[in-house]
Amino acid sequence: MTEMVYGALPVRDSEPILPKWARTLDKWSIGCVLILFLIGLLLGLAASVPLAERNNFQPFHYVQRQAFFGGLALITMICVSMMSPVMVRRLGTLGFLAAFVALALLPVFGTDFGKGAVRWFSLGFASVQPSEFLKPAFVVVAAWMLSASQQINGPPGRLYSFILAMIIVAMLVVQPDFGQACLVLFGWGVMYFVAGAPMLLLVIIAALVVLGGTLAYSSSDHFARRIDGFLNPEVDPTTQLGYATNAIREGGLFGVGVGEGQVKWSLPDAHTDFIIAVAAEEYGLILVLIIIALYSIIVVRSLFRLMRERDPFIRLAGTGLAAMFGVQAMINMGVAVRLLPAKGMTLPFVSYGGSSLIAGGIALGMLLAFTRSRPQGEIGDILRGRSR
């Protein structure tokens, strides 16, 4: 009777945050992330020692830095995964604004560290790569726009997200960073497809990508050299791809033995872009297959959990993050085995790199937050209800 007069009190969730987080989290995914990080430290012990010697550092200088930044990344991942989807969206929006401004300022204040591409801000004690932080933030913002466009009288979010994606791609191409540009465009394309984009439009976008690649090949010597090297049937054994290919071949099924690999003494990027070559040479195909399985488990489990999600924003953002995470790993390993042109992309949570590790922690934290179990009916129930 009291409730009829004064109204019912709202039901509050009194369960503590940590037990609720542990109960709703995808434990398989977070377990795979932890194993990948430990594998990265193991490979860093082998791959980074020669580089430390060349730069007159202590033998385990880069391993210690990887452990430090990796620890920060894991803490960041756990903290972000505890957030609600609304809080993740706010974090993604603010992070996108900051990363976008930083990316725009790179031509003025950035540095290339002698690699020919202005991608970093040098802080003296460390460096920051804005594009790494821009990727997960862009996925969240684009998913917000795409989901808003599905509402009645909603804004033209599909058009806005497309314009934003093109601006970011143009800024990345100027650096030049064609790998990250392709990754951003791929992530947006996956979300656009899931949001119900017509196939004709996707074909037109694919044609524009081919046209853009043709123009880049004819106007950029850096891009043309990489494509020519990829298409050349003969691999120069003194190039990075030559060293990596030979190391993978020498590793065989079980590897040459811990610490016995030679590719780390020849490759300047053995601890970053070509870390999978070190894994294949010293530990063999077995470890490579384990790494591939770990990435596959994270992506597949995330997508299956997102299939049950009713909120279109969560579905789109989670799908974009999972797809971008998996494709980045695929590109890195594909370059090492010469299935793809060299792109200078790290292997998530395995390669050395402070920006890559922390940005990866943010991205995986967002993905874990989106795939947490929530009290809701499954989307299949809604579709069956509409068909009645």
Q: Comparing 232 with 278, which gets the higher pLDDT? A: 278
Compute the distance between CA of residue 273 and CA of residue 145 in angstroms, rounded to an integer.
33
Q: Which domain holds residue 252?
A: 26-106+127-371
State the average pLDDT for the chain.
83
Q: Comparing 336 with 388, which gets the higher pLDDT? A: 336
How many domains does the chain fold into?
1
Convert the pLDDT of each residue in 179-223 to its tens digit: 888 899 889 989 998 888 777 777 777 787 777 777 766 776 666
Compute the distance between CA of residue 298 and CA of residue 197 in angstroms, rounded to an integer.
26
Q: Does 332 reside within a domain?
A: yes
Q: What is the largest CA-CA distance in the chain?
A: 85
The whole model's pTM is what?
0.87
Q: Comparing 319 with 16, which gets the higher pLDDT? A: 319
Q: Does 378 reside within a domain?
A: no
Q: Is the separation of the CB atoms in 49 and 60 below 8 Å?
A: yes
pLDDT over 50 (residue 5): no
247: which DSSP letter? H
Those residues with Cβ within 8 angstroms of residue 104's Cβ, 6 or more apart along the chain or in another chain: 171
pLDDT over 70 (residue 50): yes
pLDDT over 90 (residue 141): yes
Q: Tell me, what's the pLDDT at 156?
A: 87
Q: Is the separation of the CB atoms in 342 and 241 below 8 Å?
A: yes
pLDDT mean over 336-342: 78
Band (96; pLDDT cuts 50, 70, 90):
very high
Q: What is the 3-class SS of 47-88, one letter each residue? A: HCHHHHHHCCCCCCHHHHHHHHHHHHHHHHHHHHHCCCHHHH
The closest alpha carbon to 20, from 377, 373, 378, 376, belongs to: 373
pLDDT mean over 306-326: 93
Local structure of 111: helix, strand or coil: strand
Q: Does 12 reside within a domain?
A: no
Q: Tell me, what's the pLDDT at 222?
A: 63
Band (7; pLDDT cuts 50, 70, 90):
very low
Q: Does 379 reside within a domain?
A: no
Burial track 321-330 (b if 16+ CB lie within 10 A, e otherwise): bbbbbbbbbb
Query: Taking each helix axis from N to C terminus, what angle separates 85-109 and 157-174, rounded to the nearest 10 degrees?
Result: 30
Those residues with Cβ within 8 angstroms of residue 334's Cβ, 6 or more apart along the chain or in another chain: 340
Q: Does 362 reside within a domain?
A: yes
Query: Taking each helix axis from N to C terminus, what angle separates 178-194 and 199-219, rounded to the nearest 10 degrees?
Result: 170
Q: What is the DSSP string of 145-180?
A: HHHHHTSTT---HHHHHHHHHHHHHHHHHHTT-HHH
For residue 151, the one-letter residue type is: Q
Compute the distance between CA of residue 155 and CA of residue 153 in angstroms, rounded to an integer.
7
Task: State in Å, rounded, how far the first CA of the chain is from the last one.
Answer: 37
Q: Does 386 reside within a domain?
A: no
Local structure of 120: helix, strand or coil: strand
pLDDT mean over 157-169: 91
pLDDT over 90 (residue 111): no
Q: Tell me, what's the pLDDT at 301?
A: 94
Q: Tell me, what's the pLDDT at 30?
A: 93
pLDDT over 60 (residue 21): yes
